[in-house]
Chains A and B, each alone.
Chain A
C-alpha cells in the first residue's frame, strides 16, 4: 500500500526540517518554558502573598488564560503585540515584531498561567515550619523565598514542570495557524510544495512522538529517584 509513496522526499527535506523547523520549535519551547517559569513563579507568589488585591489580580489572570483556547490566545497576541509595541515606543504606526518574538511572548504569557499553578502547589507543599524557622534566623521575606522555600518547591515540582514543558513542546506546533516555519510548519510547507502530505505528516508525527516519549520516560525515572530521596 506504500507503493505510490516517495519517502525519499523526507531525506531531501531533512536539513530544512531540522535546521529551520526543529531549531525554531526547540528554541521557542526552551525560552517559553524559562520565561513562563519565571513569570509563573511571580504570579504564584502574588497569589500567596496575603495581599488581597494582588492575589485577586493574579487569580483572575490565571483563570482568564486557562479558559481560552491556545489558538485564540495566539491570534490575540499576534494582532495585539504590534499595537503594544507602538504604544511603548510612541511610534506612529503599529510595529512589526516578527514571528519569533510574537510567538515567544504568546507562549510565555499563556504558559505562565499553567506554571504558576504548579509552583503554587509546590510552595504549598513546603511545611509551615520552614518559613517560620527562616524567619527566626532573621531572614527577610525575600530571602526566605529565595533561599528556603523556592528551591525546595522547585525541586518537588520538577517532574510536573518537565511534563508541562513536554505539553508546551507539543503545543508550539499550533503556531502553524500563523504560517510560521516551526517543525510542523516546515513539514507542512514541504508537504504542500511536493504534494507529499502522507509522507511528511507521518514523519512529523513520528518525530514528535519519539521526542515526547523519550522525555516522558526521563520524567518517570526522575520521579522514581526523587521518591527514593524523600
Chain B
C-alpha cells in the first residue's frame, strides 16, 4: 500500500482553530454520548409506557401499542430523521414551523428525539416480552392482595420484568449510541461526523477512522462492564442469574 501514514496528525492543529484534531474527535465523542443519553431517556420512558400498554387488559391500549411499534419499526431510522427534520416543520402551523427551524442546535434535538422514538419501539417490545415471561400467578397474587392495577405494575410486575430484560436492554442502549452516527446526515458533528470531516481536511482517512473505531470500542467496553455490575446488583434471588 502506497499510503502515507501519519499518526502524528492527531496532535496537529485542526483548521477550525478549536485545538488539535484529537480535540475535534473528542468533542464528537462527547456529542455522541450526549445525544445517545438523551435519546435513551426518551426511549426508556416512552418505550416503557407503550410496552405496558401492550400488556394491559384494555383492547384499545393493546391496539395503540401495536400500531405504535409497527409505525416506528417499519421505517428506516434515516427516513424518520428526515421526517422530523425536514417534513415536520413544514406540516406545523407557520409560526411553530419557523420556531422549530430556527431552534439553535436543531440537529442535536432532532437526532435525540428521532432516535429516542425509534428505539422506544424496541424497548416496548422487550418490556412486553419481559412482562409476558412472568408467571401468571404473580399478577393474580398481587390482585388478590388488593393491589390496584397501577400498584400491581408499580410494585410487582415492572421491578421483575425490568430485571429480566436487563441484558437485551444493554444491547438496545449500545444500539442507541451507535445509531447516533446516522445523525451525520442531518449535519450533527458527532464522532463519525468529526472523523469524516477530519478525513476531508487532512486526507488521513485511515488514521481518522481508526481513532473513531477505537473510541466506539472503548464506549462499548465501558457500557458492557457497567451493565454487568448493575446486572449483578439487581439480580433476582432464586433465578439462574441470582445470588
Contact = CB atoms under 8 A, between A and B. Distances in A.
A188 B86 CA distance: 11
Contacts of B79: 173, 184, 201, 204-205, 208
Contact of A1 (B91, B179, B195, B205): B91
A138 interface: no
Query: Is the interface on chain A under 10, 10 to 19, 20 to 34, or 35 or more residues?
Result: 35 or more
A170 B185 contact: no
A69 B174 contact: no
Contact of A184 (B3, B76, B212): B76
B216 A213 contact: no
Contacts of A204: 79, 82
A72 B195 contact: yes
Contacts of B134: none
B181 A70 contact: yes
Nearest to B91: A1
B76 A202 contact: no
Contacts, number: 104
A67 B82 CA distance: 25
Nearest to A214: B74
B182 A174 contact: yes
Interface in A43-87: 64, 67-72, 75-76, 79-80, 83, 86-87
Interface in A127-153: none
Of the candidates A67, A68, A176, A177, the one having the most CB atoms from chain B within 10 angstroms of its own CB is A67
A171 interface: yes
Contacts of A216: 70, 73-74
Nearest to A80: B206
Interface residues of B, number: 39
A197 interface: yes
Nearest to A83: B1
Specify the main secondary structure of chain A where it touches its partner: helix
Nearest first, the 3 closest Cβ-Cβ pairs linking A and B are A69-B181, A212-B74, A170-B76
Interface string A187-222: 010000000011001101100110011001000000
A83 B4 CA distance: 12
Contacts of A71: 181-182, 184, 192
B152 to A, nearest CB: 29
B78 interface: yes
A204 to B, nearest CB: 6
Contacts of B80: 205
26 contacts: A1-B91, A64-B217, A67-B174, A67-B217, A68-B217, A72-B192, A72-B195, A72-B212, A72-B216, A83-B1, A93-B2, A173-B78, A173-B79, A174-B76, A174-B78, A176-B78, A176-B185, A184-B76, A197-B87, A202-B83, A204-B79, A205-B79, A205-B83, A209-B74, A212-B73, A213-B70
